[in-house]
Chain A
Amino acid sequence: MSNVIVNRVAEFLKRFPPFSFLGDGDLTRVAQSVAVQYLEQGEILFQQGEAARPHFFILKEGIIHLVETSQKGEEIREVCDEGDVFGVLALLGKRPYLLTSKVIENSLIYAIPVAVFEKILEENSRVALFFAAGFAAGQVVVRQDLSQGQKARSELKKASGDHSLLIFSDQSAVNFSEKVLNCPPETSIQSAAKLMAEAQVSSIVICDSQDFPLGILTDKDLRSRVLASEISPKNPVSQVMTSPVITRKKQDGFSNLYLTMIRHRLHHLVLTGDGTDKSPVCGIISDHDVFLSMGNSPAVLIHGLMNTQEVGEMRKIRDRAEQMLCYYLENEVSMEFVASVMTEINDVIIRQALEIAKTELKAEYPEMNSTRFCFLSMGSEGREEQLLRTDLDNAILYEDVAEGLQSKAAEYFLKLGEGVVEVLLACGFDPCPGKIMASNPEWIQPLSVWKNYFSDWILHPSPEALMKVSIFFDFRSVAGSNALAAELSDHIYQEIGKKQIFLNFLAQNAMKNPPPLGFFRDFVVEKSGENRDQFDIKLRAMLPLTDLARLLVLSHQIVGINNTFQRFEKLAELESSNSELYSQAGKAYEILMRMRALEGLQNKNNGRYINPKSLGKLQRQLLKNAFAPISELQEIVNIRFQLDYFRR
């Protein structure tokens, strides 16, 4: 029988996860089993090394620090406040406590017997996930798989009443036809068209006798390659088909398949047994199939962008992309996919902007038309991880020109850069406060000057140079001649090879911002003990990770991977001893990106400053867990680059 006392306990518990996931019956059973304890400042609830008690705890009021004692002394690992669940080792591993819980502010503590909870843990998957994902305090010490946290967040969120259509939750929900219309290569164009008309489809795959795909013919091909080119419909279809065909296998998963279509601008993607064109056709996916399952699809948006040079229209499409982004983020669509799609959209905008600017300057600078150049994106867009329209960081690199043309080239490319930047600003991107943009003459230079810039930064790593490095080293060629960008990359690696100590400077720079401990109440808890009420997620969590990833990638001489989370994946591959930590760091970065973007979308800003007040308990814990790999990585870098020695 429940009574007022039990109800009161239940009412408190219900406010916090995992108790918020319990039904009334279970909640009452749990509340009925609680023991309430009051400890004063300075007292200790449990001691590191002590055998786990048969209950775990939730803090009703007060503050408790979870402290680790080691040879290095005492270190605060977590700060618990109202509603934090801790001391759960008893529940999970029945191991001795790894941390000591110290009462910092008089605390009322509810102890919940493990026995009561074990059954719930078995039966309630969301409660189990809460613990498995490491959302209880002090669990970070036992390194958690952050992917569990990501998964858990979306799982746990569903309860909050998000019933929106989950397009990616079930990949089989995206239909594609397994019956593929096909014909042999010698079929006449007319018969092929007839087959298409009868089957009411917009494409036909041309196959050899083994059903291996040789080519594809679409409605568009009939229009442009047959009718418009006045080719006789009696000719064999092999003469007008697109060949070879880009193929993938069905098992590649929807995001990958779809990404292939976006990247190659395919309207139809042929699926084969093993993914190559040396195996039988087993399906076809059309953009129409995709459109049917998605309203605001990347393909629709990119298609729209490609077909307009009207800036107002481009901006509208970019705004729509943001709605799509919001939907993807909220539904935990993989960050790799989200980032790729948004990068592609941003890139298309840049390329279109470049076309607009080029067209305008064409008549005025005919001699510049053949000069090779490339448009570089840097910073987050360079790393292919710019989700929101945050600061533009870009530049122009052009080939060295004959002496007489130098000033003309400088003038032309400045005008070109200004033109592009104007379009991008009109599309809603923010200007770079440091003026690192293709409208600043300093960053519109021929290859030789760029090489000198980088040589200088590497040889004289002043604090200012290191700041530039963090932006410029992530450059990526978005449009124009990739060869120029590749040449610059080679030069950079040569210079670093000559001056290895540069990496130590870079390492030192990457250590500047240790991540905070976590949050409590409305404060960010710093290791040094100071509090602030707004958390700079970029400076305190993302920047250390991008800096660390860049440093390690440079030290391994890896080229061509710009994404921070993909860099970590690559590092995990290269250093098997640290592979777990690297993949956790990659996951942490994805979590941070998602959180920042969501925050930005919600508040219509760049999402950089997060108000801890606005975060729920789960979000805080997820964020807190994401900090853990940063500290560990910094530790590794500290040792690897002998920074303690170096600082002297």
Chain B
Amino acid sequence: MSWWEFWKPKHERLEFIRDFLAANEQTIPGIRSIDQLNFTVLDTETTGLDPSRDSILSFGAVKVSELKIQIPTAVEWYPLSENTGGKTAQIHGLVDIPDQISKEEFVRRLLPYLGNSILVGHHLGFDLEMINRQLSDFGLDQLPNAGVDTLSLAIRLEHGPQADQNRIKMGTYSLDALCERYGIDTDDRHTAAGDAFLTAQLFLKLLKVAERKGIINYRDLIKNW
């Protein structure tokens, strides 16, 4: 399905959105090797788990290119939301949020930042749902970018491509459990950027496992999920 079907004519497309969409028209050839791909590893902290009611408290991300985590690209944004100060905020310790930005500013920063990179996240679907909801106000229903969920990737690598997710203990695929299994220090979890960094390290390690299993290019990587 193309994003065009979801286009709502009543919204005037903003220039930055047009640029973003134009960048994403360029498709990535299936034979492009993984070390030539650009990834954005991201994570969000939200006010709750219901994308229709809750909103993003913080967004953290870092890029991976040439199979290296590029620290200079690390970002951490705190969009203003309708119900800040909720319960999640307490849990995550995001009470005094520095440098909050408006929802629009968030989207204006986010889209050029993502560009046409491949999005990577742990339980990526949830983060994307949260982000997409923010985008809908700007005439965009869904990010067109390709995505890789480290959770699915880990399962696929450990149990094979045909694995039935219902028969797998999901607890062993939480970010914490995977970090422990792959030897990654989880010193300060529960900030979006912190988790994005952990996910990025996990992603690098998973890609090595993938390489051994013959997953070496874009087509191999996004196949099957």
Contact = CB atoms under 8 A, between A and B. Distances in A.
B113 to A, nearest CB: 13
B201 A32 contact: no
A4 B71 contact: no
A610 to B, nearest CB: 29
B208 interface: yes
A36 B68 contact: yes
Interface in B163-205: 183, 187-188, 191, 193-194, 196-197, 200-201, 204-205
B176 to A, nearest CB: 16
Interface string A99-137: 000000010100100000000000000000000000000
Nearest to A43: B208
A37 B68 contact: yes
Given A34-B71, A35-B71, A38-B201, A5 B188 contact: no
A506 B130 CA distance: 78
Contacts of A35: 66, 68-71
A5 B74 contact: yes
A40 interface: yes
B75 interface: yes
B75 A3 contact: yes
Contacts of A6: 71, 74
Nearest to B209: A40
Interface string B120-154: 00000000000000000000000000000000000
Contacts of B72: 32-34
A31 B67 contact: no
Contacts of B76: 3-5
Contacts of B66: 35
Given A8-B188, A32-B71, A38 B194 contact: no
A5 B58 CA distance: 14
B79 interface: no
Interface string A16-35: 00000000000000011111
Contacts of A61: 183
B133 to A, nearest CB: 24
Nearest to A9: B71
Contacts of A106: 183, 205, 208
A313 to B, nearest CB: 57
Contacts, number: 64
Interface size class of B (residues with CB under 8 A): 20 to 34
Contact of A4 (B70, B188, B201): B188
B196 A40 contact: no
A33 B68 CA distance: 12
B71 A31 contact: yes
B194 A5 contact: yes
Nearest to B185: A61
Contacts of B62: 5
Contacts of A31: 71
Q: Could you tell me the dominant secondary structure of chain B's interface residues?
A: mixed
Interface in B23-38: none
A429 B72 CA distance: 60
A3 B60 contact: yes
Interface in B61-111: 62, 66-72, 74-76, 99
A577 B220 CA distance: 61
B197 A38 contact: no
A4 B204 contact: no
Nearest to B204: A38
A267 B89 CA distance: 76
A411 to B, nearest CB: 72
B208 A4 contact: no
B74 A3 contact: yes
Contacts of B74: 3, 5-6, 32
Interface string A59-73: 001000000000000
Interface residues of A, number: 20
A322 B189 CA distance: 50
B67 A4 contact: no
Contacts of B208: 38, 40, 106
Question: In this complex, which of A35, A38, A40, A106 has the most chain B Cβ atoms within 10 angstroms of its Cβ?
Answer: A38
- With most chain A CB atoms within 10 A of its CB, the pick from B67, B69, B99, B200 is B69
A50 to B, nearest CB: 16
Nearest to A38: B204
A1 B197 CA distance: 17
B187 A8 contact: yes
A38 B183 CA distance: 12
Interface in A323-345: none
Contact of A8 (B99, B183, B194): B194
B55 to A, nearest CB: 20
A342 B60 CA distance: 62
Contacts of A9: 71
Given A5-B60, A5-B74, A111 B68 contact: yes
A480 to B, nearest CB: 66
Contacts of A32: 71-72, 74
Contacts of A34: 71-72
B97 to A, nearest CB: 13
A188 B67 CA distance: 92
A111 B62 CA distance: 16
A3 B193 contact: yes
B139 to A, nearest CB: 29
A5 B201 contact: no
Given A3-B193, A4-B191, A33 B71 contact: yes
Contacts of B205: 38, 106
Contacts of A33: 71-72
Contacts of A36: 68-69, 71, 200-201, 204
A226 to B, nearest CB: 79
B68 A5 contact: no
A40 B207 CA distance: 11
B52 to A, nearest CB: 28
Contacts of A111: 68
B204 A5 contact: no
B4 to A, nearest CB: 35
A33 B74 CA distance: 10
Nearest to A3: B76
Contact of B197 (A8, A37, A40): A8
A34 B200 CA distance: 14
Contacts of B69: 35-37
A1 B194 CA distance: 15
A6 to B, nearest CB: 6
Contacts of A1: 99
Given A32-B72, A61-B183, A5 B67 contact: no
A5 B41 CA distance: 12
B187 to A, nearest CB: 7
Interface string B14-52: 000000000000000000000000000000000000000
Nearest to A40: B208
Nearest to B99: A1
A34 B71 CA distance: 5
B134 to A, nearest CB: 20
Interface centre among B66, B74, B197 (most CB of A within 10 A): B74
A111 to B, nearest CB: 7
A19 B211 CA distance: 34
B213 to A, nearest CB: 13
Q: Which 6 residue pairs are nearest across A and B when measured between Cβ atoms?
A: A3-B76, A36-B69, A5-B74, A4-B193, A38-B204, A35-B68
Given A4-B76, A33-B72, A108-B201, 6 more contacts: A3-B74, A6-B71, A8-B197, A32-B72, A35-B66, A111-B68
Interface of B: 60, 62, 66-72, 74-76, 99, 183, 187-188, 191, 193-194, 196-197, 200-201, 204-205, 208
8 contacts: A3-B74, A4-B193, A5-B60, A8-B187, A36-B71, A36-B201, A37-B204, A106-B183
